[in-house]
Every structure is written in structure tokens, then in C-alpha cells.
Amino acid sequence: MSIRAAAAVGLGVVSLVAGSAFAQERFKLQYNQVGQTSKYLAQQAYDVGDQPGHQVRIYKVQRTFTDESTFVVRGVRVRMSESTGYSDYTGGIGPIWGYEVWTLEDGGKVFLTYTGSTYSEPTETGSRRGIATSAARITGGTGAWKSIRGMIHSASKFDSDPQKGYSQGDNKGEYWFED
């Protein structure tokens, strides 16, 4: 093989590796409750009956983000998220898991799955107030967001009271786009 041919092959390999590295560039993601309102769209708890205080609960939470929010993905503002999930509490402590959909300003959607745990206590109104920590995996999206992937850690304070319920979190992670 000539020196020119070897150089051309070497340059081609370097270009291929550089292209793959660029495609896997990772971007930081951080957002919190600033510029956010939240409400429970639905929730239902069921007593399991195997021991006192053991409840299974399903819920749907909607968060709306204003212009004050720092929740931006690749320069596009996230306007809303909806979480549909499940909790399995005994005395207000237990695992959670579910799904989340972000709706972006450009009309695109980003999909996530999450799992974690919760600690909560009863309030004077009979609701539960506490904190949930979770890890979420970004699994894809629609349109230009189809190949987005990532991981996010969240710590959310919540109150399940239907009248004043809220779920506000601090979130950090990273995302990237696959080929």
C-alpha cells in the first residue's frame, strides 16, 4: 500500500470516529420549579389489605413551564410535561415508577421512563406530603427528537391534596442524540 493510500485510509477512519463522537456529544440538563406550576389531573389510591397503611396509587401530574423556566432542550423551551405513574406505599414510604412526556415549544415530544422511591407523611387534610427521588431515562421522541436519549436525576417535593396539590422538582442530567 502506498503512503498516499495509507494516509487516505487513516484520514477516513479518523473522520468516521470523529463523526461518531460528534453524534454522541452530551449536553447538560438542569431545571427546577422556577417558572413552573403543577397540578394533579388524576389520582386514585387503593388499600391493598395485607397490612395497615399499604396502598397502591396511580396518578397523573401536569407541569406547565413559563418563560421564567430554565427548562430548555437543545435551545427549545419545554412548555409542559405530564407524568403518569404508580406508587406502592406502606405507611407513606415505597417505590414509584412511571412515564413522562415533555411537550416542546416546537410541538415535538420527548418520552421518559422513571423509577425511584418516596417518603411521605399525612397532612391535616388527609393528603400525603413528602419527597420523591427518581432516575429517569430519556427513551426518544417525535420528529426531530426521535433519537434523543439521556439520564436525569430528580428530587421532587409534593402534596397530593386535590385542592392545592403540587409536585415540584430539582432535576439534573444529560442527554445526547443517537445516529
Structural domains present in the chain: 26-177 (2.40.350.10)
Q: How far apart are CA 176 and CA 33, in angstroms?
A: 23
Per DSSP bridges, beta strands 93-104 and 36-47 are unpaired
Average pLDDT for 145-158: 95
How many Cα atoms sit within 13 Å of 119 on the Cβ side?
2
Q: How far apart are CA 119 and CA 103, in angstroms?
A: 28
- Give residue 56's pLDDT band: very low, low, confident or very high (50, 70, 90): very high
Single-letter amino acid code for the residue at 89: Y
Average pLDDT for 48-57: 94
Q: Highest mean pLDDT: which of 6-10, 13-17, 33-37, 59-63?
A: 59-63
Tens digits of residue pLDDT in 123-133: 888 888 999 99
Global pTM? 0.80
Tens digits of residue pLDDT in 164-174: 777 778 899 99
Average pLDDT for 55-77: 93
How far out from the chain centre does Cα 89 lie?
21
